[in-house]
Amino acid sequence: MWRQASLFEKAPAIKIAPELKERLNLLAQESRFDLAGSCAKDPFGRGRRRGPLGRWLYPVVLPNGRRMTLFRTLLSNKCFSDCAYCPLRADNDPLRLSLSPEEIAKAFMALWQKRIVHGLFLSSGVFAAPDTVMEHLIQVARILREKEGFQGYIHLKVIPGASEAAIAEAAKFANALSVNLEAPSARYLSSLSRRKDFAKVFENLKKISLIRERRGFSFSQTTQFVVGAAGEKDADIIFQTAFLYERLKLNRVYFSAYQPGLGRKDVPGEALAYKSNFLLREHRLYQVDFMLRKYGFKAEEIPLKNGFLSLEKDPKEAWAAENQAFFPVNVNRASYWKLLRVPGIGPTIAKRIVAARKHARLRDIEPFFPNKKLFAKAKRYVCY
């Protein structure tokens, strides 16, 4: 039986050479700037915790709802890109290091065999032509699959500008592929980078989507936005997110709050980051993501003020406050999708209600709620 080692237990002895450990520690730590992991239940970022080995281990929720801890590292932090929000950009001067595919595979297997991690999330700086970097990433997955016999979860980051052939090869070995848009439009991305082309990144998203469709959606696809860096509005991110779900059939869109002080001083959102709670803004966007992806809401229904979500109120509750005529919802007659519009009711509770009323008329739905707080939210909006 699998028992994951706690992140707070004493670190097991891992047989990795000291010099390799140093590079792993640094590159794994620097992979935290590429989150792609939902922190929706934690608006203050406490879900991003460091493990006992000194590496960044992320408890994440996958698109299918499965929870696991991933070993996240960079193949290399050498990068030609000039992304203003990123501390690894070409004009900055961090210690530049790389790992070989063999070293990453060996380190991962050591962690996996000790049951510290469930899977691998592998990314890299752009240290060479996109397809050259992709070949190194693919080689890690190839070693794990063909040499080590690892059948678990592997997420590979697609390098912007990679060819369709390289993406198709990566898809042979990965459970998930992603390429980060980072900004919701070409205008915003151009304010952050002179070298990264929004059209090319978006083209990569479309290529991955087409390959998924041809392969029967046998692997998942995600992307990420950096929240606040470009001075964009929440509306820009929300409408682009809805488009990605509806047209390209992405499994998940992730949001990463811009971390002030890490980028160049001319980052559009730098000054605002010190005055605004970007982590709470990230949290609200994750709540909207659930509304779009799970609750049947459309982007144009999301309550906004001057293009921004309220930081004080859950967006679903804000929608309810603006749509009083929709309520009360009769729990004995309402459809599953109408029930989902009730604050405090999510998919699990809605399914319980629909199943229970097949056997008897409901007069009280409190037993379906895991806690009184959620029921207190819902009871004001329902009737029997």
CA dist 177 and 179 (Å) reads 7
Helix-helix angle 164-171:130-142, to 10 degrees: 10
Structural domains in the chain, CATH included, are: 18-308 (3.20.20.70), 323-383 (1.10.150)
Closest CA to 81 of 192, 207, 174: 192
Q: What is the pLDDT of residues 335-347, one digit of tens each?
A: 999 999 999 999 9
pTM of the prediction?
Answer: 0.86
Beta-bridge partner residues of 74: 123
Residue that the structure tokens 């900055």 belong to: 92
Query: CB–CB of 161/200 below 8 Å?
Result: yes
Residue 47 has pLDDT above 90, yes or no: no
pLDDT of residue 317: 97
Q: Does residue 88 or residue 161 have the better pLDDT?
A: 161
| DSSP letter string, 156-215 | EEPPTT--HHHHHHHHTT-SEEE---BSSSHHHHHTT-SS--HHHHHHHHHHHHHHHHHT
Q: Which residue has the higher pLDDT, 126 or 54?
A: 126
CB 275 within 8 A of CB 339: no
Q: Can you give the pLDDT at residue 276?
A: 82
Tokens standing for residue 296: 């049947």
3-state secondary structure of 134: helix
CA distance 127 to 234: 32
pLDDT (mean) for 154-170: 97
Q: Distances in Å between the alpha carbon of 57 and those of 29, 73, 84, 279?
A: 9, 9, 25, 19
Using CA atoms, how far residue 223 sits from 132, 236, 347, in Å, is: 21, 15, 24
pLDDT at 45 over 50: no
Residue 123: beta bridge partners? 74
Give the tens place of pLDDT for each residue, 133-143. 999 999 999 99
Q: Phi and psi (nearest 5°) for 137?
A: -65, -45
